[in-house]
Chains A and B, each alone.
Chain A
């Protein structure tokens, strides 16, 4: 359920990047304040551990399909939220770079969905109160399952929200939600059982790791329940601010979808109304062949201007198809030429 670049609009992608960056910066500062620097290599190796463990699959009972560990909850329980967020973000970053899971713009949203919810909501608000400070196996099991499920539900909901705000997909909000939430209920249960199993195994094998983890790490919740809440409020206000600011200059985002919620299905105006004049002057200034006037003839039908549904136009389509063929063959020809030239020279 990694979010994908292709489904995001720049405004939504940037807003969630801002939120995630803020959380990473904040966690980094928190960690440095109370830093026992032994935690740095531990974090690094644990990141690799999560990464490696995701490569082993297990069968989900009753379905026959297989799943793997998400890892957010395990990390939060073992390291505390701040370090866990940094580790989770680093794992997602490597995945974005090497496996192209999602993409670079979507990385901000993925850190938000898979890192921030388990570390800063599910862990402090659900896991800690249920599990308490002791190491009762039953409470830990219940706490792990409940918090993993809720964390993943939030993440899945967030994917729906991001997709919807970006407006690239036609899926109606509630249909998409009805698809995502149940699927992630199953995944969340599996994740919860695995988390509980891992923690229980560790308690029986090396109880001192968990004990030291819960005493030594910076956030034992008795201190900062309020601060976490305050931080979240701040983050929410900040993100909302960014979102609405971007949205006001670009109906692509929030405004457009809000209008859509209020039922104007014919509304195609997803171009950038405010940015349009700027784009236009830039366009005129940089025009290469003014004779052919590069009018975005192909683009008016994307709803760039006020025109609603354009009448389908045969002539324009034909020239579009022809132009596409020319551009593509030119691009690949350039590639082929460079390649053969390199081969010859080497």
Chain B
């Protein structure tokens, strides 16, 4: 499990350095579009299913334009679904009022709202993962700063991100060493864990001291600068405008219902 998480993190990072149309967009545009998308999706009332379906266009476009392996992301979405699933699965128990009749079968409100929760979950989580997979994390941090997050929080994020990889490697070694020395349940308890964490902490602090010395000697005085220029260009504006308009359109109009009605009519005319 540990190795998996670690390599996943690294893999997402690698993905974010690809060079595609989506990757080239300004991080701010992608961040704002994603947040707006999530807000729109979540704003649907709890019995909504059909209205949510057109929203799959956004992740699907990012997947295909950004050349992201969909299986990898979907697996992550599946793994993370536990909490939403665990809470949502109670809906069918508590809400048994029939809401739809689909081909003779009664569908209770609870099942509908449960399905709606899972749809929303898939949409929001996959779009957040896609944001990272198509934008480097430093890029996102930069966007956050431009949007007005406190400088100290942004530096904190950058530091954290840089040292996750270093510390994860150390931690992996320590965890493996512990596992090799423990038999059955012995050695996996809290006591050993606490002293392992303590040791890890000491190493961390020593590392921080060395880093600080190194940074001081390179002229650090509290701010992190970036050489990489970010500019908000035409394509970024077009992408942002397109995404926002599409979200509004899909939110305000029942595209699915309309298509269904049209096709029903066509179908009936044919017969």
* Proximity bits, A288-303, B CB within 8 Å = 1, else 0: 1100101111110111
| CB-based contact B47/A302 at 8 Å | yes
Interface residues of A in 4-48 (CB under 8 A from B): 4-10, 13, 24-25, 28-29, 31-32, 35, 37-38, 40-48
* Proximity bits, B13-35, A CB within 8 Å = 1, else 0: 00000000000000000000011
CB-CB under 8 A from A133, the residues of chain B are none
* Proximity bits, B172-215, A CB within 8 Å = 1, else 0: 10110010000001001111111111111110110110011001
Among the listed B45, B193, B254, which residue makes an inter-chain contact with A294, where contact means beta carbons less than 8 Å apart? B254
Among the listed A105, A282, A328, A335, which residue makes an inter-chain contact with B124, where contact means beta carbons less than 8 Å apart? A105
Among the listed A55, A58, A298, A332, which residue makes an inter-chain contact with B168, where contact means beta carbons less than 8 Å apart? A55
Interface residues of B in 120-160 (CB under 8 A from A): 120-121, 124-125, 128-129, 131-132, 137, 140, 149-153, 155-160
CB-CB under 8 A from A313, the residues of chain B are 100-101
Q: Report B76 CB to chain A, min CB distance, Å.
A: 6
| CB-based contact B208/A42 at 8 Å | yes
| CB-based contact B61/A335 at 8 Å | yes
Q: How far is the CA of A29 from the CA of B211 in the complex (A)?
A: 24
| CB-based contact B83/A2 at 8 Å | yes
CB-CB under 8 A from A287, the residues of chain B are 253
CB-CB under 8 A from A259, the residues of chain B are none
Q: How far is the CA of A74 from the CA of B164 in the complex (A)?
A: 18
* Proximity bits, A311-329, B CB within 8 Å = 1, else 0: 0111011111111101110
| CB-based contact B190/A194 at 8 Å | yes
Query: What is the total number of residues of chain A having a CB less than 8 Å from a CB of chain B?
Result: 125
| CB-based contact A324/B9 at 8 Å | no
Say if the beta carbon of A104 comes within 8 Å of chain B. Answer: yes
Q: Which interface residue of B116, B164, B199, B249 has the most chain A CB atoms within 10 A?
A: B164
CB-CB under 8 A from A205, the residues of chain B are 198, 202
Q: Which interface residue of A310, A323, A328 has the most chain B CB atoms within 10 A?
A: A323
Say if the beta carbon of B87 comes within 8 Å of chain A. Answer: yes
Q: Which interface residue of B83, B193, B222, B259 has the most chain A CB atoms within 10 A?
A: B193
Say if the beta carbon of A134 comes within 8 Å of chain B. Answer: no
| CB-based contact B38/A104 at 8 Å | yes
Interface residues of A in 76-108 (CB under 8 A from B): 86-87, 89-91, 93-94, 96-105
Interface residues of B in 86-141 (CB under 8 A from A): 87-88, 90-91, 93-95, 97-103, 106-107, 110, 113, 116-118, 120-121, 124-125, 128-129, 131-132, 137, 140
| CB-based contact B221/A37 at 8 Å | yes
Say if the beta carbon of A249 comes within 8 Å of chain B. Answer: no
| CB-based contact A103/B211 at 8 Å | no
Say if the beta carbon of A136 comes within 8 Å of chain B. Answer: no
* Proximity bits, A135-151, B CB within 8 Å = 1, else 0: 00000000000000000
Among the listed B60, B158, B171, which residue makes an inter-chain contact with A53, where contact means beta carbons less than 8 Å apart? B171
Q: How far is the CA of A190 from the CA of B54 in the complex (A)?
A: 45
